[in-house]
């Protein structure tokens, strides 16, 4: 059998789960389900929008049935909206439901969580995150959600025609520096030959310029990175005269892709952005169209963009993003306000009926600047505080080149060990011996806007761009 295993078969063929049957490959259960999902995505995305919505309403009714029986919070809310089991769901009913806030998720997590998962959804996974909002939230998702997420990632590769045999570089926070032989489980299990290598680097606590030195040394074909960090690195690349790279695409998530960022990365690296809009508590929300820079909403969510009065925004009108996760059976999230701003768009000429989001405004990524003149990524999340104190809310401000101020909302009085742990965590996170001022506050003064940054560098502290 050694000779058979050595056959150089096309990457399109699925690896066989049976050593003695390689052509055609007999897929594993994981590969078979993923292939079926990809096939269905190809059908769903071409449906007319109204027909897609009709199918989503069937799924929404199934979610409501489950929530009614298994989550006390949702039973009360659905009953108040005039819904009961066996009734259909529609957009009018959905819009009668109150918007779900982060505070409610934080304070009513037990009542929001389902007592059981439907058969076949697999075990639950806990996601403890604040995203870029600074407010810790715990959400549960089933294994099925993770597999759908992986299939959507593969669909995104197909949409944008990526050569998965190339090298992928990943520059993200909370990553351990390492190299692996593949891009991840999906490509390892879905194609003979797997994928090209992936080089992963954590952005935390490292000198800013060193990220660019790493990229120039690795010369990847694709780069997975926060878009604001990408723009800052490309700006430095052009200013310092580094040799031009020849990347194919930037696979971005976690920030706003601006026209400036697209131009900078095109000039420095020859790379085009292919953005994915996601929320760690839910998964993918929208994907950049293969033909345009606007986005198509994922079929697994209902993404509403609403004005200040709660009415649906029209094309070109800016509003806040409210998301219903249609497969959030472990912990139903219905009309969840994720704190972002976006703009709906007109229907697309690419042939996809998935609703269009013309712009995702999101929030900007912030940086800390050190007295040495170097910069650090400043995106703190709730998981960074797990071993520090029972934090309910937080914000860190850089008030001077050598000083950080941490505002903490705690479930109990601030203690000296809390201050010591906070100081140590922040110094480790930024890789510098900052003076740390720790304050306990009743509430974070976020201001009148929807923007909530967990890290803020005050105006006048540092220069205009990382270097």
Share of the chain above pLDDT 70, in %: 91
pLDDT band of residue 7 (cuts 50, 70, 90) is: very low
pLDDT of 432 reads: 93
Q: Measured between alpha carbons, how far is 464 from 401 in angstroms, rounded to an integer? A: 14
CATH architecture of the region 367-457: 2-Layer Sandwich (3.30)
On the 0-12 / 13-18 / 19+ scale of CB atoms within 10 A, 422 is: buried
Residue ranges covered by each domain of the chain: 30-363, 367-457
Tens of pLDDT, residues 200-217: 999 887 887 899 999 999
Q: Measured between alpha carbons, how far is 149 from 347 in angstroms, rounded to an integer? A: 25
The predicted model gives 125-138 an average pLDDT of: 70
The conformation of residue 373, written as its DSSP 8-state character, comes to S
Q: How many residues does the chain have?
A: 467
The phi, psi pair for 440, rounded to 5°, reads: -90, 130
363 vs 443: which has the higher pLDDT: 443
CB 252 within 8 A of CB 273: yes
**Would you say residue 100 has pLDDT above 60?**
yes
pLDDT of 9 reads: 37
CB 146 within 8 A of CB 30: no
pLDDT of 312 reads: 96
Which range is least confidently modeled, 15-19, 228-232, 363-367?
A: 363-367
Tens of pLDDT, residues 53-98: 999 999 999 999 999 999 999 999 999 999 999 999 999 999 999 9
Which range is least confidently modeled, 213-227, 278-292, 416-430, 453-467?
A: 453-467
- CATH homologous superfamily, domain 30-363: ANL, N-terminal domain (3.40.50.12780)
The predicted model gives 325-349 an average pLDDT of: 94
pLDDT of 450 reads: 31
**Would you say residue 1 has pLDDT above 80?**
no
Q: Mean pLDDT for the chain? A: 87
Largest CA distance in the chain: 69
pLDDT of 20 reads: 79
Using CA of residue 98, residue 99, residue 105, residue 109, what is the dihedral sign? positive
pLDDT of 323 reads: 98
Tens of pLDDT, residues 374-411: 878 676 766 788 788 888 778 899 999 999 999 998 88
Strand ranges in 63-145 using DSSP code E only, listed in sequence order:
124-129, 137-142
**Domains 30-363 and 367-457 alike in fold:** no
Which range is least confidently modeled, 31-40, 68-77, 187-196, 241-250?
A: 187-196
């Amino acid at each position: 059998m050694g000779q058979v295993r050595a056959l150089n078969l096309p990457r399109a063929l699925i690896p066989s789960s049976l050593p003695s049957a390689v052509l055609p490959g007999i897929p594993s259960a994981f590969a078979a389900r993923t292939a079926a999902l990809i096939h269905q995505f190809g059908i769903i995305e071409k449906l007319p929008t109204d027909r897609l919505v009709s199918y989503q309403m069937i799924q929404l009714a199934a979610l409501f049935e489950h929530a009614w029986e298994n989550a006390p919070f949702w039973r009360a809310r659905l009953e108040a909206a005039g819904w009961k089991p066996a009734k259909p769901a529609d957009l009018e009913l959905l819009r009668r439901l109150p918007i779900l806030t982060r505070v409610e998720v934080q304070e009513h997590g037990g009542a929001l969580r389902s007592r059981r998962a439907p058969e076949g959804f697999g075990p639950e996974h806990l996601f403890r995150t604040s995203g870029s909002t600074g407010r810790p939230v715990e959400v549960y998702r089933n294994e099925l959600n993770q597999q759908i997420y992986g299939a959507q990632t593969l669909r995104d590769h197909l949409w944008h025609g990526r050569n998965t045999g190339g090298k992928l570089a990943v520059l993200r926070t909370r990553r351990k520096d390492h190299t692996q032989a593949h891009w991840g489980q999906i490509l390892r299990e879905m194609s003979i030959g797997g994928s090209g290598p992936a080089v992963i680097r954590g952005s935390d606590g490292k000198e800013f310029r060193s990220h660019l030195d790493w990229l120039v040394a690795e010369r990847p074909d694709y780069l997975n990175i926060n878009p604001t960090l990408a723009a800052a690195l490309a700006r430095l690349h052009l200013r310092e005269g580094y040799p031009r790279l020849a990347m194919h695409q930037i696979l971005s998530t976690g920030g706003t892709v601006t026209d400036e960022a697209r131009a900078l990365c095109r000039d420095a690296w020859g790379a085009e952005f292919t953005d994915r809009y996601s929320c760690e508590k839910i998964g993918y929300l929208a994907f950049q169209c293969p033909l345009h820079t606007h986005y198509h909403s994922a079929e697994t969510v209902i993404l509403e963009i609403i004005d200040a009065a709660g009415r649906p925004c029209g094309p070109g009108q800016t509003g806040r993003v409210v998301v219903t996760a249609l497969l959030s059976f472990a912990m139903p999230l219905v009309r969840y306000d994720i704190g972002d701003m976006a703009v709906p768009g007109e229907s697309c000429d690419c042939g996809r009926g998935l609703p269009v989001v013309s712009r995702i405004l999101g929030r900007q990524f912030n940086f800390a600047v050190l007295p040495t003149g170097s910069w650090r990524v400043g995106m703190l999340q709730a998981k960074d505080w797990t071993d520090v104190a029972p934090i309910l809310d937080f914000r860190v401000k850089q008030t001077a080149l050598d000083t950080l101020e941490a505002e903490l909302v705690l479930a109990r009085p601030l203690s000296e060990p809390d201050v010591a742990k906070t100081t140590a965590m922040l110094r480790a996170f930024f890789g510098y011996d900052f003076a740390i001022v720790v304050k306990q506050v009743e509430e974070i003064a976020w201001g009148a806007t929807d923007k909530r940054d967990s890290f803020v560098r005050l105006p006048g502290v540092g220069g205009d761009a990382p270097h």
